[in-house]
Amino acid sequence: MSAAVRQRHSVTGYSFRAILLGTVLGVSIDITSKLAIEQRAALEQLLFFNINQHRVRIGIQQSIETYGVPEIYESNGWLRVRVGEIDGVQTLFALSAAGRLLGVAVFVRSAHERFAVLHLGVEPRSNAAPDLNTRVLLKLMHEIRSAARRTQGVERIELVYKDRPVRLHG
């Protein structure tokens, strides 16, 4: 009786090791401040129709009451997000290597010493990559933290969905 050879590749042709290392299924995460106009539906889904909104509903309501309603608009051939009448709103988009929108973070310098993260949206958890949304969220926050460190005078990042600000250390 011969033993079956253990399959080293999935039916998709990718090795299981590659999946674990995060090199397939769009797990490579790129952060950019520009989003193609063709991504409008995906951005609307993340910001306005995200199935996880119920988890942070109170924070979303507080953000809207304090800062205003987010609005998607086109500028110089790219999609951007504005919030109410606030100047200086910045948006970061998390994209897969294939260009699929994975997440969005909308923030502003709300006082001399702090950035306020007004809205966050990530793709819902999937069976194919169950930890991807957590990685996207962490990557977006890491980029905001890096921007805060480069901005003179900024000492804190306030997550509007949370009760207390996050201090920058080191």
In a domain, 10, yes or no: no
Best-predicted range by mean pLDDT (9-18, 35-44, 81-90): 35-44
Average pLDDT value for residue range 129-134: 74
Query: Tell me: the pLDDT tens digits for 21-42?
Result: 344 444 689 999 999 999 999 9
Check whether 60 has a pLDDT greater than 90: no
In a domain, 13, yes or no: no
In a domain, 23, yes or no: no
* Domain at 83, CATH number: 3.40.630
pTM equals 0.76
The closest alpha carbon to 40, from 16, 72, 13, belongs to 72
- 37: CB partners within 8 A, 6+ apart: 74, 77, 78, 79
Banded pLDDT at 169 (limits 50, 70, 90): very low
Give the whole-angstrom CA distance, residue 154 versus residue 156.
Answer: 6
Q: How many domains does the chain have?
A: 1
Written as six digits, the tokens of 35 are 């989003």
In a domain, 103, yes or no: yes
For residue 158, the model assigns a pLDDT of 83
- 7: CB partners within 8 A, 6+ apart: none
In a domain, 6, yes or no: no
Beta partners for residue 111, in sequence order: 114
Percent of all residues in the chain with a pLDDT value above 90, rounded to a whole number? 33
In a domain, 19, yes or no: no
Check whether 118 has a pLDDT greater than 70: yes
The closest alpha carbon to 90, from 80, 99, 101, belongs to 80
In a domain, 100, yes or no: yes
